[in-house]
Structures are given as structure tokens and as C-alpha cells.
């Protein structure tokens, strides 16, 4: 069994690990290694391709960058301009009571029926009055929703939708993480929009976003990984870290080899790292962190995309298992096979067998769905047959197809030509009520052992868990290791999220 020694070991080649490795290379550090148990780089920001040629990201990935460093890095890796990127306008709706309500919901109450308009507006006004009288901060996400949006919007949209996303009630979540993430309400504007029957969809971040022309979101991270020297990277299942000895500073890999490090930057989910370290304190911290799992379901469908410019759609009701669907073929031509590709119909959406010898050309469009799984929100995964030659899939795939029919995303006789499913054990790090108390103790403890645990699940802060944040968590961790500089993304999420950060540059 091999035994290596390295000054800085980076575990995980998702955006965080790649950010760290990029920074080490940028500083000309002579002795570092990046390893990942996956076959290639990307982590949760990877893209899979079905045998029929449809691409699927791991859920809707939209780039909204807060950092110039991040922009410069991905432009250097992928290239710039229209040749390499599509620019898309966010067109996003909430599906409710068989209507499409433009997003953000709270600014588009005018699209509801009169009874619901009344509940929402009354709630908004009451909340505004209540909020003016209350000085203390909301202690849960639920309290925040009631204070900002009132009980009408809470019951109609925010509570049911957020349960579908997080798999826990909003009363189990804290309010600190919110920052810019949820559109707050201008009550006067909300009333005016209702009276003037106005649609108001232009809110906040990512009103316009860019998407790579080729390779999906994963293509970005493969290109970033390609900028690194091959001799500094190790991929493949044998590289799974299965044990960390914080005293001897040695990690053991699944293939039996060991690596001694002076400093370890790990993007492995913090709950798993703490369990690897073991001991009562680490186990207690691990138990105090909550995450939900994500099922990504993709459908390739024959026909012209019937959803026009729609990008992604939210589903708070229980007529479908998913909380969000993305019209993924709309993001890039390459996300679906060309119309000249001949594909057989695997099954019809209603489960009926298609006629035999039905292989013919497109056009095609694709839909990508996200379903949350948690202890409080289990997902049916028993194997079921879909019909035709589509084969056997977990029950959630069948439920998703049925939901797509009942929410008007596809026709009952739609011809399904490709099916995709992947379950991500760690999908969303829950901003639970106890999260910050754990992070305040666990991260400094690890730091005292020369372990920087960073990333979407490495540091567990959803408010800084997008691709841009993750990448910069890695970059800033390396600067902290080498020069002791402050890790602003980790420690000041509200500051980094409130502006474009231009202090660090890649070029």
C-alpha cells in the first residue's frame, strides 16, 4: 500500500475543491494534491448525459456571481461571449390552483382569484403593522415569513412550498440565513399591482443569467479542472477518504493507501467528516446537523417545447412530487439531441405502450425535476415498470411523470424518449435552528487540527452554498492557510451577498 506525504491535501473536486486547487496553483504552491472519489471533477455541479443524448444537471443550476474572481476563472476556463455562453432571461412561475403566477409570488398576487387576493393583501397589511410594533428579530423562518408576508401568503405558498423544498416545516428553520434569498414585500407595490392587474417579475438577483452552450453546468467545472496540472489530481472510487487521523494528520483511502498532510482542506459533508473523526463531541455535532436528499428526474420528450421562454417553475401543491421543474432544453441547444436524431419512443406519459417500430426524428425538449427527500418527507423508491421499453425505475419517477401530466407540463400521450434519475444523499444543507451552534464549535475544533472543512456541505451554510460561494470558500481557505487572511465568505455571508466582491482577482 502506498504512503504519500503532501503539504496541502484538498479532498473533493466540486467548485470548492477546484477553487482551492486553482488558488494553490495561482500562488505557485509547490506541494499540493487534489483527490476525489468521483471519476471526474464537478461534484454536485456536474452534468450527466443519458444514452439518448439528453444532458441533465443535478437540479436547476443558475449562475449568479457575487465575485469577480469567479467570473474571471470560469471565463478563462470556458471562454467568453456568445460563442460559449447563452444569456437567458429568467422567466419563472409558481403553479397554483391551475394558474401560473409570475415569480416572485408576493409581487404577483394580482394573478390569484379574488378570495386569495383578499387573504394575501389583508395578511400583508396586518404583517406590516405588526412588524412596525415588534423590535426583536424573528426566531424562525416561519416567524420571518409571517412578519414579512403575512398569514395569507404563508398558508397559500410559503409554508407548503418550503416544506416541499426542505422536507422540514418552516418552524424548524432559523431566519438568519435569509439575506437576499427571499424577495421581501413592498406592500404598496403589491396593492398597486393587484389594483392595476400588473405582472411584476423583474425582482432581484438572476433576472438575467448565463448558461454554457456546451456540456451543461458540469462543463464549466471540467474546464476549470483542465486548467490544473494533471500530476496534482487523483480521481476514482479508490480515492474515497474513509478515515482521518487528526493527530497523526493522515487520511486513509478506500484503496488502502494513506496520505500524510500538514494541512487538509476537505469538502466532504461536515457530518460525515465528524463521524469519521468519531468521539462523543464530534458525534454530537454530527447529530446536530440536518440535510435533505434530492432526487433529480429528467425526461426527454418528442415534440416542440410547449413552454416558450419559461425557465423554471415552482410547485407548492401536492398534485406532483417535485418542488421545481426546469425546461432544461431551453437553456442550451446541446442539452437535447438535434431534431435530426432518430430515437424510438420508450413509453407514453400515461404509461401506455407506444406503437412498435416508432423510431423517428425529433424535435425534442427536456424537463428536469427536483424532489426533496427527508425523514419527515419520505420518497417512494420501490422499483416500478414505466411501460413500453422504458424499463424499471424508482416509484418517484412514475409519480413525477404523473405529476407532469396533472400540472400541464406534458400531455398524457406525450412520447417519452429518454428517462433519467439520480438520488443525491446530500442535496440541501438545512438551515436548522441548531445549525449555527454546531458550526461555531465544530469548525474551530477542526481548524485547531489543521483541517479546513469548507463548501456547500463542508461548512453547511446554505446562504453561501452556490457555485460562486463554494468556489470562493475554497479560494479564501487557501489564502487563510497560507497568509492567515480572513475568510469573508464563510464568516460574513451577508456582506458578500450584498455586493459584487472585487478584492480578489484570478487574472
Ligand X SMILES: Cc1cc2nc3c(=O)[nH]c(=O)nc-3n(C[C@H](O)[C@H](O)[C@H](O)COP(=O)(O)OP(=O)(O)OC[C@H]3O[C@@H](n4cnc5c(N)ncnc54)[C@H](O)[C@@H]3O)c2cc1C
Question: Between residues 151 and 368, which has the closer beta carbon with respect to ligand X?
Answer: 368
Stretch that binds ligand X, among 6-14, 102-110, 302-310, 484-492 (CB under 6 A): 6-14
Q: How many residues bind ligand X (CB under 6 A)?
A: 37
Q: CA-to-CA distance for 285 and 391, rounded, in angstroms?
A: 42
- Answer whether 254's CB lies under 8 Å from 244's CB: no
Q: Which of 8, 16, 158, 506 binds ligand X (CB under 6 A)?
A: 16
CB 185 within 8 A of CB 124: yes
Q: Rounded to whole angstroms, how far apart are CA atoms 149 and 134?
A: 15
Nearest approach, Cβ of 356 to ligand X (angstroms)?
37
Which of the ranges 54-62, 255-263, 351-359, 415-423 carries the binding residues for ligand X, by CB under 6 A? Answer: 54-62
Which residues have CB under 8 Å from 285's CB, separation 6+? 274, 438, 441, 442
> DSSP of 432-467, one letter per residue?
BTTHHHHHHHHHHHHHHTTEEE-STTTT--GGG-SH
Compute the least distance from the CB of residue 159 to ligand X, in Å: 21
**Least CB distance to ligand X at residue 337 (A):** 24
Q: Does 11 bind ligand X (CB under 6 A)?
A: yes
Contact flag: residue 294 with ligand X (CB under 6 A): yes
Nearer to ligand X, 12 or 387 (CB): 12
CB of 139 within 8 A of CB of 129?
A: no
**Inter-residue long-range contacts of 191-194, CB under 8 Å, 24+ positions, other chains counted:** 191/121, 191/124, 193/107, 193/108, 193/109, 193/110, 194/109, 194/110, 194/117, 194/121
233 binds ligand X (CB under 6 A): no
Instruction: Provide the grid cell at 399.
Output: 409519480
Q: Give yes or no for residue 15 binding ligand X (CB under 6 A).
A: yes
Residue 463 makes contact with ligand X by CB under 6 A: no
Residue whose CB is less far from ligand X, 129 or 498? 498
Neighbours of 126 (CB within 10 A): 14
CB of 163 to ligand X, least distance (A): 16
27 Cβ partners below 8 Å, 6+ apart? 478, 482
Give least dist CB 292 to ligand X, A: 10
Q: Which is nearer to ligand X, 222 or 302 (CB)?
A: 222
Please, what's the largest Cα pairwise distance for the chain?
A: 73
Of 36-44, 47-55, 170-178, 442-450, the window that binds ligand X (rule: CB under 6 A) is 36-44
Question: Interface mask (CB under 6 A) for ligand X, residues 367-386, using x and -?
Answer: ---x----------------
Q: Does 36 bind ligand X (CB under 6 A)?
A: yes
> What's the closest the beta carbon of residue 14 comes to ligand X, in angstroms?
2
Q: Is 312 helix (H, G, I), strand (E, B) or coil?
A: strand
Which one among 158, 455, 462, 489 touches ligand X, defined by CB under 6 A? 455
User: CA 59, CA 53: separation in Å to the nearest integer?
Assistant: 17
* Window of 35-43, 99-107, 139-147, 403-411 that interacts with ligand X by CB under 6 A: 35-43
Does 210 help bind ligand X (rule: CB under 6 A)? no
Site membership for ligand X, residue 325 (CB under 6 A) = no
x/- track of binding to ligand X for residues 415-434 (CB under 6 A): ---------x--x-------
**Whole-angstrom distance, CA of residue 429 vs CA of residue 289:** 8
Angle between helix axes 141-153 and 114-133 (nearest 10 degrees) is: 140
Q: Which is nearer to ligand X, 241 or 289 (CB)?
A: 241
Q: How far apart, in whole angstroms, are the C-alpha atoms of residue 462 and residue 478?
A: 21
Cell of 85: 455562453
CA distances from 313 to 310, 318, 326, 328, 401 (A): 8, 15, 6, 11, 15
Query: Does residue 167 belong to the site contacting ligand X (CB under 6 A)?
Result: no
Is position 240 an interface residue for ligand X (rule: CB under 6 A)?
yes
Contact positions with ligand X (CB under 6 A) in 266-285: 267-268
215 binds ligand X per the rule CB under 6 A: no
Judged by the rule CB under 6 A, the positions of this chain that interact with ligand X are 11-17, 36-38, 43-45, 58-63, 239-241, 267-268, 294, 370, 424, 427, 455-458, 465-468, 470
Amino acid at each position: 500500500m502506498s504512503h504519500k506525504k503532501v503539504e496541502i491535501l484538498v479532498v473533493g473536486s466540486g467548485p470548492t475543491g477546484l477553487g482551492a486547487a486553482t488558488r494553490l496553483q495561482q500562488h505557485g504552491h509547490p506541494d499540493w494534491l487534489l483527490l476525489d472519489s468521483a471519476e471526474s471533477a464537478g461534484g454536485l455541479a456536474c452534468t450527466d448525459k443519458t444514452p439518448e443524448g439528453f444532458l441533465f444537471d443535478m437540479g436547476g443550476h443558475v449562475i449568479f456571481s457575487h465575485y469577480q474572481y469567479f467570473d474571471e476563472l470560469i471565463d478563462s476556463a470556458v471562454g467568453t461571449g456568445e460563442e460559449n455562453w447563452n444569456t437567458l432571461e429568467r422567466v419563472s412561475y409558481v403553479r397554483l390552483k391551475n394558474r401560473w403566477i409570475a415569480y416572485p409570488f408576493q409581487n404577483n398576487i394580482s394573478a390569484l382569484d379574488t378570495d386569495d387576493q383578499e387573504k394575501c393583501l389583508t395578511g400583508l397589511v396586518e404583517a406590516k403593522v405588526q412588524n412596525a410594533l415588534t423590535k426583536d428579530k424573528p426566531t424562525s423562518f416561519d416567524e420571518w415569513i409571517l412578519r414579512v408576508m403575512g398569514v395569507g401568503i404563508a398558508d397559500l405558498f410559503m409554508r407548503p412550498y418550503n416544506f416541499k423544498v426542505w422536507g422540514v416545516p418552516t418552524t424548524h428553520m432559523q431566519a438568519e440565513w435569509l439575506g437576499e434569498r427571499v424577495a421581501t414585500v413592498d406592500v404598496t407595490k403589491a396593492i398597486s399591482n393587484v389594483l392595476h392587474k400588473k405582472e411584476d417579475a423583474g425582482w432581484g438577483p438572476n433576472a438575467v443569467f448565463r448558461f454554457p452552450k456546451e456540456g451543461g453546468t458540469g462543463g464549466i467545472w471540467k474546464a476549470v479542472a483542465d486548467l490544473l496540472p494533471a500530476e496534482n489530481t487523483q480521481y476514482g472510487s479508490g480515492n474515497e477518504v474513509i478515515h482521518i487521523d487528526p493527530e497523526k494528520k493522515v487520511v486513509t483511502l478506500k484503496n488502502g493507501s494513506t496520505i500524510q498532510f500538514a494541512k487538509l482542506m476537505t469538502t466532504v459533508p461536515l457530518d460525515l467528516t465528524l463521524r469519521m473523526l468519531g468521539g462523543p463531541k464530534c458525534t454530537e455535532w454530527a447529530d446536530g446537523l440536518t440535510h435533505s436528499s434530492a432526487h433529480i428526474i429528467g425526461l426527454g420528450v418528442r415534440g416542440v417545447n410547449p413552454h416558450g421562454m419559461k425557465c423554471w417553475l415552482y410547485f407548492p401543491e401536492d398534485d406532483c412530487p417535485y418542488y421545481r421543474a426546469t425546461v432544461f432544453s431551453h437553456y442550451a441547444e446541446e442539452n437535447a439531441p438535434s431534431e435530426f436524431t432518430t430515437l424510438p419512443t420508450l413509453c407514453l406519459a400515461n404509461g401506455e405502450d407506444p406503437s412498435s417500430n416508432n423510431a423517428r426524428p425529433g424535435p425534442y425538449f427536456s424537463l428536469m425535476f427536483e424532489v426533496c427527500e427527508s425523514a419527515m418527507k419520505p420518497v417512494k423508491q420501490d422499483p416500478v415498470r414505466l411501460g413500453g421499453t422504458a424499463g424499471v425505475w424508482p416509484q418517484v419517477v412514475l409519480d413525477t411523470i404523473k405529476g407532469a401530466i396533472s400540472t400541464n407540463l406534458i400531455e398524457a400521450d406525450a412520447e417519452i424518449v429518454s428517462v433519467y434519475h439520480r438520488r443525491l444523499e446530500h442535496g440541501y444543507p438545512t438551515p436548522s435552528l441548531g445549525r449555527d451552534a454546531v458550526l461555531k464549535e465544530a469548525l474551530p475544533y477542526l481548524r485547531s487540527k489543521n483541517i479546513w472543512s469548507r463548501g456547500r456541505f463542508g461548512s453547511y451554510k446554505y446562504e453561501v452554498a452556490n457555485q460562486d460561494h463554494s468556489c470562493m470558500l475554497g479560494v479564501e481557505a487557501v489564502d487563510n492557510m497560507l497568509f492567515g487572511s480572513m475568510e469573508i465568505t464563510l464568516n460574513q455571508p451577508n456582506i458578500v451577498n450584498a455586493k459584487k466582491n472585487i478584492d480578489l482577482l484570478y487574472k
